[in-house]
Amino acid sequence: MSTETKVVVITGASAGIGAALARTLGAQGRQLVLAARRASELEAIAADSGSAALPVVTDVTRRKDVESLAARALERFGQIDVWVNNAGRGISRQVSELTDDDIDDMILVNVKSVLYGVQAVLPHFKSRKRGHIINISSMLGRVPLAPFRSAYAASKHALNSLTANLRMELRAQYPEIHVSTVSPGIVATDFGLNVRHGGVDSRSLPGAQSAEDVAAVIADVIARPRADAYTRPEMRQLVQLYYGAEDMGAVETQPPFMPATVRRK
């Protein structure tokens, strides 16, 4: 295999951002390993993403499935260069309404599944002394824009922390293993329809960014590795405004922050 041909594993690849990323990278000539639970949808995306794309039916909430995903990728291509932890799920429930099951589900799907991916691929990256882990987070993991996504936001905050700590852990001994966070805002996918406790179609929300635009940002992070990327430049400015404020509570009363009394499914 050419040293310039990167093998990229993408979880949550059967729809939305993952599917758009598969098509984008396939058009660039990347070798792809695509993971999701839905076999027929996954196979269709693989067919659209290059003749060498390998679909692997995977439940990312099961560590053994994720370990098998890494093994299948290595068996097929002999190497992994980039691992994109994209699979995730939202929730429509405010903090006062959350149950134990709500929290457990958000942590399992959005945090532990990423940990499984990291720990499955990291030995291979360490043996090669290079690689790239990209964790797809959310603007809700940075700022409280939607209180009804409370536990989802909390899980993405946890993901952001794990990502940063992993990067610091590896930096001295493995400087060529890159660890990145990508934070989209609202994306025009069916994400909202699949959230826990129900929700609206994200494609109907004003200002939703296309999955293709988000995929282009992720592809750029693969080409030019960096620690942190937002899918729109104004997002970074909003984060700086929020955390730089003397009183975050005052900022939360201004647009685009949603008042805590508003609940929108």
Is residue 150 included in any domain, yes or no?
A: yes
Give me the CATH number covering residue 40: 3.40.50.720
| Residue 179, C-beta contacts closer than 8 angstroms, at least 6 positions apart | 132, 133, 135, 163, 166, 167, 170, 227
Is residue 130 included in any domain, yes or no?
A: yes
CA atoms within 13 A on the CB side of 86: 29
Q: Give the pLDDT score at 259.
A: 57
Is residue 2 included in any domain, yes or no?
A: no
What residues are paired with 162 via a beta bridge? Answer: none
116 is catalytic: no
* 236, amino acid identity: R
pLDDT in tens, 102-145: 999 999 999 999 999 999 999 999 999 999 999 999 999 999 99
Question: Mean pLDDT over all residues of the chain?
Answer: 93
Choosing from 152, 174, 242, 243, the catalytic residue is 152
Is residue 259 included in any domain, yes or no?
A: no
Q: What is the DSSP string of 121-179?
A: HHHHHHHHT-EEEEEE--GGGTS-S-TTBHHHHHHHHHHHHHHHHHHHHHHTT-TTEEE
Is residue 184 included in any domain, yes or no?
A: yes
Task: Tell me the C-alpha distance between 137 and 139, whole Å.
Answer: 7
Number of domains in the chain: 1
In the sheet that holds 54-57, the strands lie side by side as 54-57, 31-36, 7-11, 82-85, 131-136, 177-183, 228-230
Residue 31, domain extent? 7-251
Q: Give the pLDDT score at 63.
A: 98
Is residue 139 included in any domain, yes or no?
A: yes
What is the mean pLDDT of each successive set of 10 residues along the chain, which is 265 residues long? 76 96 96 96 95 95 98 98 96 96 98 98 98 98 94 98 98 98 90 82 78 97 98 95 96 81 43
Is residue 261 included in any domain, yes or no?
A: no
